[in-house]
Amino acid sequence: RAYVSVKNPSGSWVNVWSNSGTVNDGAYTTQTIAISNYVAGNSNFQVRFGLGTSDSSVTYTGWNIDDVEILPQASGISTGEGNWTSAPFGPGSTLGSEPSSYGLMVIDAEIPTGSLFEWSLIDASTGTPLPGYQEMTDLRVDLGAIDWESTPSLRLKMHMITGSGGGPKVHSIGISGAINESFSDNPASHDWTLAGTSWSPTSGEVSGTGTVTSPIYRVSNGFGALKTSILATGLPILEANIDDKGWQAYPLEGYTNLDEVGQSVQFRFQSSSGSYSIDAFSVETVRSIPNMGVRLDIGADGVSDWGFDGDDAGSYGMQNRLANGKVCQTLSTTPSSAGVFDVLLPLAGIDQFGFTVSSSSEMKSPYMNIKIAGSDVTNRGFANFQTASYVEFSSNELGALNNALSNAADDRGILGLPMSRVSITIGSSQSTADVTMCGIFAPYDASLNLNL
């Protein structure tokens, strides 16, 4: 007969539960046991699982134990609510990191119906909440928009509440480009697309003869390699589409250097022959440190003959700063006075354009206006926001912007890389709030032609 014992304050073992009937080996049975009387004043509390004698009809003696928890009463945890806070991370943390921006964060979690899972970011040095990143529910967020120079170290705080379908479970957190998918939950809830394949909640696998396609992951600080580790059977083909330049095959297990730095990636599995199954997906987008202050010294005399200097130009091949040289800027807005943010963009055009906005209170029915030299390029509304929200240009808007840039005047005067000032107006006819713009995302062709 199976039993559970605990060690009381006097050091004696006391049975607190024993099985009183037939055990069904086909299913687990949840047991909740009150142990307050044995824990109080007990610095050497222990739990023991035992198996006593059985009748002669039992030939397989033993039992399966899973998900053992010892929780305090009336603490919030025992009622299905709890918090977890990470150690500091980022370029200024004691754990160490590259002296560069924050990376892509991907959370692999199960969130049952009726439960709550939300997270917030905290300034590790001050303990204060980071504006724009409070009570977030997104499971993938590019943290590259955060001002890593003014906030070099962060903590991640998660808040969870059990619902009618159970409590949330977090399997992994990638904070610098690691993408993990355990398929413990329906991959559709993580924005994966299944076609000719299906997910099994019993095995936690995706199988079939069709395709399995991931969402698009945006990595604003760039990545120069892919480290892949896929647990699969049936030899599926893994493909990646980097910066929307077409699908290329990658090994299920390996490290692949890229020909050029990428800023976005999407993954896809398809059959090589017959059916296949995927049990776990793990890929690291190995980040690339942006090139800052590129200089050319002819004659090795220590004096640069050409230089890509100045904070307002961002990184070589990526405009990621505002025209004031800052990663972020906050402006006060009212219904009668919008905020105007400036950024320098190359006259030769850019490959993509977007930025992240947040506000001190909800911005309702916000609008955006883009001007170059006083002439409108784009004027439209976008979704309400308060927490950090990414605003991305469509292909038509990008085409209009590049066309306007090609006819604009040089406002910066870097030899070989002329740039024009672009004004971005953000406002609302219904709201008064402080609006923060961060994370300018404008990659462009960084090729360098030398005529000597």
pLDDT at 209: 97
Band (416; pLDDT cuts 50, 70, 90): confident
Residue 75, pLDDT > 60, answer: no
Q: CA-CA distances (angstroms) from residue 76 to 71, 92, 162?
A: 10, 33, 11
| Structural Rg of the chain based on CA atoms | 28
- Mean per-residue pLDDT, 402-419: 86
Residue 261's nearest CA partner among 213, 292, 219, 293 is 219
Residue 76, pLDDT > 70, answer: no
Residue 95, pLDDT > 60, answer: no
Secondary structure (DSSP) of 124-189: TTT-PBPTT-SSB--SEEEGGGS-TTT---EEEEEEEE-BTTB--EEEEEESSSEEEE--SS-GGG
More confident residue, 375 or 447: 375
More confident residue, 240 or 77: 240
Residue 378, pLDDT > 60, answer: yes
Name the average pLDDT for the chain: 88
pLDDT digits (tens, 9 = 90+) for 117-157: 999 999 999 999 999 999 999 999 999 999 998 999 999 99
- Mean per-residue pLDDT, 23-27: 66
Residue 51, pLDDT > 90, answer: no
More confident residue, 283 or 91: 283
Band (413; pLDDT cuts 50, 70, 90): low
Residue 180, pLDDT > 90, answer: yes
pLDDT at 98: 64
pLDDT at 191: 96
Band (176; pLDDT cuts 50, 70, 90): confident
Who contacts 332 (Cβ-Cβ below 8 Å, separation ≥6)?
A: 339, 433, 434, 435
Residue 360, pLDDT > 90, answer: yes
- In the chain, domain spans: 2-51, 81-287, 294-443
pLDDT digits (tens, 9 = 90+) for 266-281: 999 999 999 999 999 9
Lowest mean pLDDT among 65-79, 120-134, 355-369: 65-79
Q: Are the C-beta atoms of 172 and 125 separated by less than 8 Å? A: no
Q: Are the C-beta atoms of 226 and 285 separated by less than 8 Å? A: yes
Q: Are the C-beta atoms of 344 and 319 separated by less than 8 Å? A: yes
Q: Count, in order, helices (H) and strands (E) of the chain.
A: 2, 28
Residue 447, pLDDT > 90, answer: no
pLDDT at 136: 96
Question: Which pTM does this prediction carry?
Answer: 0.76
188 SS3 class: helix
pLDDT at 294: 66
CATH assignment of 294-443? 2.60.120
- Mean per-residue pLDDT, 324-342: 95
Residue 152's nearest CA partner among 100, 218, 212 is 100
